Amino acid sequence: MALLVDFYGQLLTEKQRQAMELYYGDDLSLGEIAESLDISRQAVHDLVKRSGKILEEYEANLGLVQKHLSLKQGLESVNQALAQYRIEKNEILLYRAENIIHELLKTF
């Protein structure tokens, strides 16, 4: 959920974004957030639940977090293949890295 807030948090209202950042980013309790935002604990609970559903809908429609995670995983694979190549000097590892890069580029 923290990644969803990072990617789509600016699309929420100010109060929704604050509640989500305090809950998921700062790990505050519902009571602490209620005190900070001057609303009831139940209101914070409802706000966090509703905002979470909104963020999940954004991700379902746009898929930016999934693309980010796929790109990160691909880059880690390339980095690992290149590190192995430096040790083993095996040309196949260079081809593997090139293929991973090629597949990543097809997704964008």
How far is Cα 22 from Cα 8, in angstroms, rounded to an integer?
A: 15
Tell me, yes or no, if the pTM score tops 0.85.
no
Tens digit of each residue's pLDDT (9 = 90 or more) over 86-95: 778 877 878 7
Res 80: pLDDT:
83
Q: Which residue has the higher pLDDT, 1 or 89?
A: 1
How far is Cα 1 from Cα 9, in angstroms, rounded to an integer?
A: 10
CA terminus-to-terminus distance, the chain = 24
**Chain position carrying tokens 């305090």:** 22
Tens digit of each residue's pLDDT (9 = 90 or more) over 59-75: 999 999 999 998 888 88
Question: Measured on CA atoms in the order 58, 50, 13, 27, is the torsion positive or negative?
Answer: negative
